[in-house]
Every structure is written in C-alpha cells, then in structure tokens.
Amino acid sequence: MSKEDYRDKIEEHRQSFEEEQKEQQNLSRVSRMNQNGSTNKKPKNTKRKTPLMTILLVIFILIPLTILIYLVKFYEPGKTIEEAEKDSMDDAVVEIDKSGDGAKASAATDSNDKDAKANNDKDAKANEEAKEQAKKDAEKLAEKEKATEEAKKAEAKKAEEAKLAQQQAEAARKAEEAKKAEQARKAEEAKQAAAKASTHTVKENENLYRIALNHYGNGSEATLAKIRAANGMTSNTVMVGQVIKLP
C-alpha cells in the first residue's frame, strides 16, 4: 500500500471521527438542556469532572492526527522507526546546515561588498594617480619640447654664425688673394720697369765708355768688362740704335 493510500484512509477516519464528535456534542447539549428545564436557564456552577468528550477527542482525533503527521513526514515503506527518526535528525541537520550556509552566504555577501568597496576605492586612487602621472608626463614632454626647440634655435644660430664666419674667411681670403695679385702685378711692373731701365739704346756720338760713365758714374775697365760680358761683346765698339744691357 502506498503513502497516498495511507493518507486517504487516515483522512476518511478523521472525517468520520469529526462527524461522530459533532453528533455526540449535539446530543450532549440537548440532554443538558432537558435536564436544566429551560434553554435560557444557566447551569449551576458545579465542579466539573473530565468529560468523556475530551477523552474521546484525544483518542479519536489527536492520536490519528499524530499518526498522520508521522506517516506524512517521516514514514516510508520498508523503513523502521529508528531509521525514520534518523532521517528526521538528518533533515534537521540539513536545515541547520542550510541556515549555516545562509549565514555563510550573508557573510560572504558582506565580504564581497567590502571587497567591492575596497576595489572601487583602489580603482579611484589608481585613476587619481594615473591622472597625476599623465599631468607630470605632459609637463615633462612640454619641457622636453621646449628644450628641443631651444636646442634647434641654438643650433641654427651656431650655423648662422659659422656661415657668417665662413663668409668672412672667404672675403678675407679673396682680399688676401687680391692683395697678393696686386703685389705680384706691382712686382711685375717694377721688374718690367727695372728691366726697361737696365737697357740703353746707343745714340749718335756715344761709345761704351760714355754709356758706363753716365749709368754707373765710373768708366773703368772693370765696369766696361761687366757691360761687355752682359751683352756678349768682344770689344768696346757699339753702333747707333744698338740696345745694350746694363747689369
């Protein structure tokens, strides 16, 4: 027989007991009314003994109800009473464990909330530090760019000065070359003038002695020999229009 069949039978017994109890209560009420002589007359205050209905209530209602509760909650076919009690204890332990798990879950939730708050605070602090670091990096970058710009300006100025110095050196070199060229030109002109001045064209009524005397102020034989050697002459004879070198 299954558990449902047991429940149905117990429910039928309980209903029949309740109907019998109601009938007995009605009969008892009617009999008391007849004994008192009037329905409106109040019963005397007498010492009441334990009525039969209480005993019947205990026997026919409470006991079956207890059995019904046992069958519904604890009884299973094939199990002894000790096993059912053990299962009930296990269920109680499970309930306690569930309540403990609930407390643990609540504690875990509180811990998670605290961890989340700590993480939020940590993230906020990290964001602030990141902002400060970004600000510092931006300042460093600006300083670096400024230093780079100043270095470029200094380099450009240095290049300009170097270019100007090169131009000045080039101008000085050209001036020196021009000066040397002018000096060379003057030297050449002086040389040409000296070369021109070191020759003499023989005129009429002139001889080698007179030419030496006019140019050197001395007509000695040594001077004449010098003139002859410079012109490849073997004698002192000269002709009009002859160009004579005067060393």
Query: Could you tell me the residue ranges of all domains in the chain?
Result: 3-36+49-113, 198-245
One-letter identity of residue 13: H
State CA 24 to chain mean position distance: 91
Mean pLDDT for the stretch of residues 53-72: 76
State CA 231 to chain mean position distance: 101
- On the question of pLDDT at 100 being above 60, the answer is no
3-state secondary structure of 218: coil
CB 84 within 8 A of CB 75: yes
Ranges of H-type helices in the chain? 3-36, 52-57, 63-73, 81-197, 208-216, 221-231
| Residue 38 pLDDT level (bands cut at 50, 70, 90) | very low
Count the residues in the chain: 247
Give the integer Cα–Cα distance in Å for 188 and 151: 54
pTM for this model (two decimals): 0.28
Give the integer Cα–Cα distance in Å for 8 and 66: 15
Which two tokens mark 241? Answer: 């229009």
Identify the weakest region by mean pLDDT among 3-12, 35-44, 146-155: 35-44
- On the question of pLDDT at 101 being above 60, the answer is no
CATH class of 198-245: alpha beta
Give the integer Cα–Cα distance in Å for 145 and 155: 15
Which two tokens mark 178? Answer: 């021009």
Identify the weakest region by mean pLDDT among 49-58, 66-75, 131-140: 49-58
Q: What percent of the chain has pLDDT over 90?
A: 13
Give the integer Cα–Cα distance in Å for 119 and 132: 20
pLDDT at residue 78, as a whole number: 55
Other beta carbons within 10 angstroms of residue 223's beta carbon come to: 20
pLDDT at residue 80, as a whole number: 56
pLDDT at residue 1, as a whole number: 54
Give the integer Cα–Cα distance in Å for 154 and 160: 10
Ranges of H-type helices in 37-80? 52-57, 63-73
Q: What is the DSSP letter of 163?
A: H
Give the integer Cα–Cα distance in Å for 225 and 204: 22
pLDDT at residue 90, as a whole number: 62
Dihedral sign (CA 160, 163, 168, 169): positive
pLDDT at residue 56, as a whole number: 74
| Residue 193 pLDDT level (bands cut at 50, 70, 90) | low
CB 76 within 8 A of CB 3: yes
CB burial of 32-47 (b: ≥16 within 10 Å; e: otherwise) equals eeeeeeeeeeeeeeee
187 φ/ψ sector (left φ>0, alpha ψ -120 to 50, else beta): alpha
Average pLDDT, the chain: 77
- On the question of pLDDT at 34 being above 70, the answer is no
Ranges of H-type helices in 58-80? 63-73
- On the question of pLDDT at 51 being above 50, the answer is yes
